[in-house]
Amino acid sequence: MATESAWERLDAGDVAGAMRSLRLTANELPIGELARVTGRAAEMMGFGDLAEASSALAADPDRPQALYEFGYACIERGAGYLAIPALSAALRLLPEEVAIRAELVVALEREGRHGEAVGLLEERAGTLSPWPYRYLLVFNAIMAGGLATARRHADLLPPPEDDQWASAHDKVLRMLARAAVAGPRDDRDLRGWHFVLTGGVLATLSPYGFDQGMTGRYAYTQDDYGRCRHGLERLRLILAAAGTRPATVSLLPDRSSEILGLAAAGMLGVPAVPFAPGRPDTVVVAYDLSEVDAAATLRERAPGQVLYEHATCWTTPPAVPADVSGYLHQVSVPPWGETLRRTPDGSMERTPADERPAEELATEIAGANPEPDPGDGETPADPDEALAEFTRTVAGEWRTGVRHHVASTGPVRSNRFG
């Protein structure tokens, strides 16, 4: 039975493993069985709301209200993949029920299944209210790569009367404006779509596994000083192509950002100053924005400010997207961090973090070889001039408006691990 692995993992106390198993099998299970195994996991995690909804659904798996409440509880607990089969069953029973359709769209969106969300909304596009439903149609069409569909419905989307939707309206209009200048070629154009979704310029592509499902992103990677230097060289190239001349580099308070910021200041030939929200004409340098407590203060853009993030996590994007990202990763270890390495006898050993002063490590970056990793030879060429030309093309829509958070990877898919 498809749930055997999940039950076995739960019996062993491995709730996370059981959830991974259910992610692969949820759509194959009878609803009652899905509810029972989810309820067991919910009880083990102390999720009383989900355990209660699961119990009710297991007792009556054909009742629309039970299906809806189970789906809602799954979404609230971050398990949209469990909500989708239940909400789909509820919608088959009550196809005119707007609340069920809306909740299913939310679940599909959170799972990155944007094309399916678009299909559900277009089925009732003539009868659904503009806010939030036509907005959700526009947003999910963009995320699915359907720019023509998104533009058609955006033309019919009136400004929201409720101010709570003003930011969402601004977000999709800016995405469409960026798409008009970036013109992403297809669902493998990572740099083009990264700009459309986040407003940021992606400085480098991963040179490994492009045609094996990574499409320019890294999964796990060990960073090094040469890559840090190459990223800063690319930052300098982007600034020059856009005609941007910062007066300072702003140092964020975490150690990794301080190291990289000091190196950036030396390479750009400008003073390094402590970060202060609202400072104009500065490059704010972050190694990894998820490690920065001050990230929320960067949502509002100061005049002339450029936010650079060296290592951007694409599976859990930061609260604010950078104006320039060095590379996209799932897991990245900084050069000065604690690492695992293979010894000559084939065993693994842990090397301690490099605790030298930030100034010394910044000097290490400045003196590193900036030549990019040649990789596996299968990634499309990415010469400096191509990046400069892209930057010149999009410069008019770069660094405009607030920095809107976007959780989805959009049309360009990459393999995830773990």
- Which pair of tokens denotes residue 160? 């929201």
Q: For position 124, what pLDDT does the model report?
A: 93
pLDDT number for residue 1: 55
Per-residue CA distances from 400 to 18, 22, 174, 195 (Å): 44, 42, 8, 12
| Neighbour-count burial of 226, counting CB atoms closer than 10 A to its CB (0-12 exposed, 13-18 middle, 19+ buried) | middle
Domains of the chain: 4-179 (1.25.40.10), 184-397 (3.40.50.2020)
pLDDT at 348: 76
pTM (two decimals): 0.94
Kind and range of the H or E run holding 33: helix 31-45
Nearest residue to 122 (alpha-carbon basis) of 111, 137, 139 = 137
ω into 335 cis (within 30 of 0): no
Instruction: Look up residue 326 and give its two tokens.
Output: 């060095």
- C-alpha–C-alpha distance, residues 233 and 19, integer Å: 42
> pLDDT per position in the chain (418 positions), as tens?
567 889 999 999 999 999 999 999 999 999 999 999 999 999 999 999 999 999 999 999 999 999 999 999 999 999 999 999 999 999 999 999 999 999 999 999 999 999 999 999 999 998 989 999 999 999 999 999 999 999 999 999 999 999 999 999 999 999 999 999 999 999 999 999 999 999 999 999 999 999 999 999 999 999 999 999 999 999 999 999 999 999 999 999 999 999 999 999 999 999 999 999 999 999 999 999 999 987 779 999 999 999 999 999 999 999 999 999 999 999 999 999 998 777 777 777 888 999 999 999 999 999 999 999 999 999 999 999 999 999 999 999 999 999 999 999 999 999 998 6
pLDDT at 2: 63
DSSP string of 221-281, one letter each residue: EE--HHHHHHHHHHHHHHHHHHT---SEEEEPSSHHHHHHHHHHHHHHT--EEE--TT--S
Q: Note the pLDDT of residue 341.
A: 72
Question: What's phi and psi for 160, nearest 5 deg?
Answer: -70, 140
